[in-house]
Structure 1
Amino acid sequence: MNRLAKQHVSLIALLCLFVPLLNQASTLEYLALQGQAHPGKSGIIVLEQGEQALLNRALLTDQAQSSIEVQYFIWSSDNVGTLASEALLRAAERGVTVRIIVDDFLIDAEPETLLSLAAHPNIHIRIYNPRHSVGVSLWERLWGFVTDFRASNQRMHDKSVIFDGTAAITGGRNMADEYYDYDHAYNFRDRDVLLTGSVVKAMSKSFQRFWNDPLTVPVEQLLIDEFKTLKESQVSDYQSWLHAYAEDQENFAPEVRLALQTMQQQFDDSMTLLRWGDIQFISDLPGKNAGTDGLGGGGATTSALIDLLSRAQKSITLQSPYLVIPEGGLTLFTDLIDRGVKIRIVTNSLSSTDNLQAFSGYHKQRKQLLASGIEIYEFRPDATVARKLMQRSVALPNKMPVFAIHAKSLVIDNQTAYVGTFNLDPRSTHLNTEVGVVIRDADIVQQISESITQDMAPENSWLAGRDDADIEANLLKRIKLWFWKLFPLDPIL
């Protein structure tokens, strides 16, 4: 609570987006009927704006009647994470079965918080590969790194939420302020897709595989001692605090009240953008691979994306926050370039990146990548596209936060696109489980292509090899980069 109290009041104001909506038609019922009218097809809307992606999640959470299945790499205890927890609690209280899988690596919630939320009979929380945070001591964590380094580094990077088995959202966004443009210092330029129709069944099957896998452990089992001593009063106090936090009218800014009143209309308007076509969900199995190849081994998502790239005839346009080409990747790209395929990649600059370790791997490869013929664009922290994408109900500050790429997307020959969680690095290739969708609708592919190309424009990115973007970063960041380049970290970047 102390951490939350420090947040700016305009950020707290977004809580109304998770308050129950009144007198609304059921969007989920509409989507179910649309799915029946398009048998074997899938519907899709691209969610480029952070607040748009948040609104969609809020509305669908509030409308769900039977089930919500949630899978995230990061679920923070900041404002967005807290309000999302309250929204799920409200859903559970009206009879919705809520199942949540969160990767263990970056969990910052207290045991009492996790257990108090899971104490509701309709809420079930499981932790993926618990080797770092939940129920794990510092010594156990260190011992795990020593005895099984690969397993400690193997994370669930999936990001998806499924409502009533009818609609789903997947893409790059985790559940935290910075993924929805509500952090006052640093926000991510990201991309999600709203899905309905046949593709949702494949997503549900993937969720069920993870839910049933031994790597995914109920939180009560991990925190057995805390669970035994948890009092009903603690559960009641926490759940009451969640509701009070989300219902405090004093936190509502007038413009946010307006957003609340018009949310359903905004969603209904966006339904005019719904396209039906061929959409394939691709995902890794729990554990990624057998683990017999050490830090290598690939996975189902890796194989599917390599196959897509190998079929390129004219062009590849790619967006990835981290660019560390895994073994064999440069040969693949070089062969494609020799065949006449134009390859363009936009990634973070030293100034915008949130991950210096990953940037150090890219920095060591950059000259070789440019020499191969790949065009690389490095995203500016002050990209002008930020003001276009960060249109929201709460007024933007005069001094814009740093804006950095987190979207993971590619377009091949302007005919096929991928949107998902896969970073172009060894970690996504070999260690982390990943998900995403392959899209073959011409209009949606064109939309994604134009969006990525816009991010490459001079006002948004520097051209690597021509512009020395590194000098735009502060001295301390350049010193830290030099330090990280001393270490052979590439296999886990």
Structure 2
Amino acid sequence: MIDFKLALKILAVAFICFAQMAIATPELTYIDNQIAAHPNQSGIYVLDKGEDALLARAWLADHAEKTIEVQYFIWSTDNIGILASEALLRAADRGVKVRVIVDDLLIDAPDKSLLALAKHPNVEIHIYNPKHSVGTPFYKRLMNIVVNFRGVNQRMHDKTFIVDGKLAITGGRNMAAEYFDYNQKYNFRDRDALLLGDVAKDMQASFEKFWHSPLSAPVEDLYDGLGLMQKHVTVKDDEIQKIYSDLHDYANSPENFTPENRKAISDMPKAFAALAEKIIWTPIQFISDTPGKNNYKYIMGGGGFTTQKLAQLVENAQTQIVIQSPYLVMSSQAKKLFKDALKRGVKVRINTNSLASTDNLEAFSGYRNQRDQLIKMGIEVYEYKPDPQIKQKLVQHVLPKDAKPPVFAIHAKTMVVDAKTVFIGTFNFDPRSQNLNTEVGVIVQNEALANNVQTAIETDMQPENSWSAATDNPDQYATGAKRRKVAALQLTPIKPLL
């Protein structure tokens, strides 16, 4: 049995071994041939398991030939975040042009490390809407909140990973351990889409809009400026090389891993061949908001392009809507959309987090304030259990003996309409995604894909995985402390920020 720390080391070995594979592989030739054989279509494969999603990113990074463009809301400095940073550094070392955009709100990278990476000749890093963290002293952050409250709350929630303009991943996962099932206390049931072909170019075009936006600032400008309201950070050449060396040493540090995992790594080409047979080729629409979301400056409304496109899907629904979202806080506009759908005879089922599983009490307070109303409207709501039975199938690695199982919570953002149209992306069904945060995702009209995704969500709704919000009183399974905190939050006027 492998313990948790060893599992992380195994992942590090996987990154290293992938890097040592020749770039001109049969898999890349196969991809090029498949793209050429499917004009006006794109390929999609759903990544439901965290470890598969992580290894897919590792494989893509280590097989990039020309460019990598990355956008994330969160990029943590935990084991997964460090290994991912090192993988991009290795790609840059071999000549790949790497560009990264990270939202400023939750970034926790050391200043010198961030600046050192940005100074690599093949790496550029931009920070989106830098009003909180990078280059921002505490007193300036407070001033930003007072002077531009809407501005500091407008975040880039996009999550995209694009390689050579032809391979990409988008979906719910940020770059941190809990999104790939490697956190010891709390992990997410999430969903990504691995994409091939023309849709990757559409994603690249969206990336360019953010890259050239005034809201997107180069790291060097945030640290090297001369303003009084700015952190001043410098990094010398020897410090840069030390930071690079430490990253490589970290990724090369695993001491042991089992023969089973050695075999899994060596079998990656075979695994890819099997995966390739499951890729669905079909027209795919990539949707994204513009930087800034909308033109509103002082109030929290305004919507955006992703909001419009998802609203259209609800408006056009004829028989059923199935949703999976970690947070469920409906605005008045959203309630009207779903009321109208229910009046048309559309069946609406939603799978969201319970109080026992949620990571966001603020968002849950907004949901709790309207839960009874949603149920009375006719919406079937199922709340995810913190230790659902499905976790045994989704989480591939084994916990140490006698270890307390981590909480497993929904983070997937998915909607299936009429069992033929699928949305997979970053959009939470709440006012923040509707009006404040930029969001992305793919809309796919394909019955085979829709049935597969809907079946996965319906499985998550089953009694062994979720409670019925209408009949099971799920709040009773949460701790008393959680119940008291969320009750207090229900009294606060924070709905527009949820």
Q: TM-score range by the shorter chain?
A: over 0.9
Partner Cα separation in structure 2 for residue 395 and residue 444 of structure 1: 35
> What amino acid does structure 1 have at the position aligned with 2:236?
K
Secondary structure, counterpart of 2:120 in structure 1 = coil
Change (3 A) 1:362 1:85: same
1:294 is aligned to: 299
1:65 is aligned to: 65
Partner Cα separation in structure 1 for residue 234 and residue 220 of structure 2: 12
Structure 1 residue 334 displacement after superposition: 0.9
Structure 1 residue 173 displacement after superposition: 0.3
The 8 Å contact of residues 59 and 264 in structure 1, kept in 2 or not, is answered as: no
1:180 is aligned to: 180
Listed one character per residue, the Cα deviations across residues 297-354 of structure 1 (whole Å, up to 9, x for unaligned) are 0000000000111000000000000000012111111111111000000000000000
1:140 is aligned to: 140
1:4 is aligned to: none
Structure 1 residue 35 displacement after superposition: 1.1
Matches of residues 313-332 of structure 1 in structure 2 within 5 Å? 313-332=318-337
Change (3 A) 1:437 1:258: same
Give the counterpart of 1:365 among 361, 370, 376: 370
1:420 is aligned to: 425
Change (3 A) 1:482 1:393: closer
Partner Cα separation in structure 1 for residue 21 and residue 386 of structure 2: 42
Structure 1 residue 163 displacement after superposition: 0.5
Partner Cα separation in structure 1 for residue 356 and residue 10 of structure 2: 30
Partner Cα separation in structure 2 for residue 434 and residue 356 of structure 1: 22
Give the counterpart of 2:8 among 8, 11, 16: 11
Partner Cα separation in structure 2 for residue 336 and residue 81 of structure 1: 42
Structure 1 residue 214 displacement after superposition: 0.6
TM-score by length of 2: 0.95
Matches of residues 22-421 of structure 1 in structure 2 within 5 Å? 22-23=20-21, 25-224=25-224, 229-250=234-255, 252-292=257-297, 294-392=299-397, 399-421=404-426
The 8 Å contact of residues 399 and 405 in structure 2, kept in 1 or not, is answered as: no
Listed one character per residue, the Cα deviations across residues 40-75 of structure 1 (whole Å, up to 9, x for unaligned) are 101000000000001110011100010000000000
Higher mean displacement: 223-232 or 279-288: 223-232
2:439 is aligned to: 434
The 8 Å contact of residues 416 and 453 in structure 2, kept in 1 or not, is answered as: yes
The 8 Å contact of residues 28 and 64 in structure 1, kept in 2 or not, is answered as: no
Partner Cα separation in structure 1 for residue 132 and residue 189 of structure 2: 28
Change (3 A) 1:152 1:228: closer
TM-score by length of 1: 0.96
The 8 Å contact of residues 386 and 403 in structure 1, kept in 2 or not, is answered as: yes
Change (3 A) 1:345 1:228: closer
Structure 1 residue 459 displacement after superposition: 0.2
Higher mean displacement: 20-29 or 108-117: 20-29
Structure 1 residue 174 displacement after superposition: 0.3
Change (3 A) 1:253 1:244: farther
Change (3 A) 1:420 1:261: same
Listed one character per residue, the Cα deviations across residues 145-172 of structure 1 (whole Å, up to 9, x for unaligned) are 1111110000000001001111000000
Give the counterpart of 2:472 among 456, 467, 473: 467
The 8 Å contact of residues 420 and 448 in structure 2, kept in 1 or not, is answered as: no
> What amino acid does structure 1 have at the position aligned with 2:463?
P
The 8 Å contact of residues 331 and 431 in structure 2, kept in 1 or not, is answered as: yes
Partner Cα separation in structure 1 for residue 399 and residue 196 of structure 2: 30
Structure 1 residue 482 displacement after superposition: 1.4
Partner Cα separation in structure 1 for residue 418 and residue 219 of structure 2: 45
Secondary structure, counterpart of 2:255 in structure 1 = helix
Partner Cα separation in structure 1 for residue 308 and residue 482 of structure 2: 35
Secondary structure, counterpart of 2:65 in structure 1 = coil
Partner Cα separation in structure 2 for residue 267 and residue 450 of structure 1: 24
- 5+ residue gaps, structure 2, are 226-230
Change (3 A) 1:396 1:370: farther
The yes-or-no answer on 1:480 pairing with 2:477 is no
The 8 Å contact of residues 112 and 234 in structure 2, kept in 1 or not, is answered as: no
Partner Cα separation in structure 2 for residue 125 and residue 299 of structure 1: 26
Higher mean displacement: 406-415 or 384-393: 384-393
The 8 Å contact of residues 386 and 407 in structure 2, kept in 1 or not, is answered as: yes
> What amino acid does structure 2 have at the position aligned with 1:471?
Q
Secondary structure, counterpart of 1:8 in structure 2 = helix
Secondary structure, counterpart of 1:229 in structure 2 = coil
- 5+ residue gaps, structure 1, are 1-6
The 8 Å contact of residues 42 and 195 in structure 2, kept in 1 or not, is answered as: yes
The 8 Å contact of residues 319 and 410 in structure 1, kept in 2 or not, is answered as: yes
Q: Percent identity?
A: 52
Higher mean displacement: 255-264 or 98-107: 255-264
The 8 Å contact of residues 16 and 256 in structure 1, kept in 2 or not, is answered as: no
1:3 is aligned to: none
The 8 Å contact of residues 256 and 394 in structure 1, kept in 2 or not, is answered as: no
> What amino acid does structure 2 have at the position aligned with 1:191?
R
Partner Cα separation in structure 2 for residue 195 and residue 33 of structure 1: 15
How large is the Cα RMSD of the aligned pairs? 1.6
The 8 Å contact of residues 12 and 79 in structure 1, kept in 2 or not, is answered as: no
Partner Cα separation in structure 1 for residue 384 and residue 365 of structure 2: 16
Secondary structure, counterpart of 2:244 in structure 1 = helix
Partner Cα separation in structure 2 for residue 30 and residue 96 of structure 1: 21
Aligned positions, number? 487
Structure 1 residue 374 displacement after superposition: 0.3
Partner Cα separation in structure 1 for residue 447 and residue 397 of structure 2: 29
Listed one character per residue, the Cα deviations across residues 357-397 of structure 1 (whole Å, up to 9, x for unaligned) are 00000000001111100000000001000110002488787
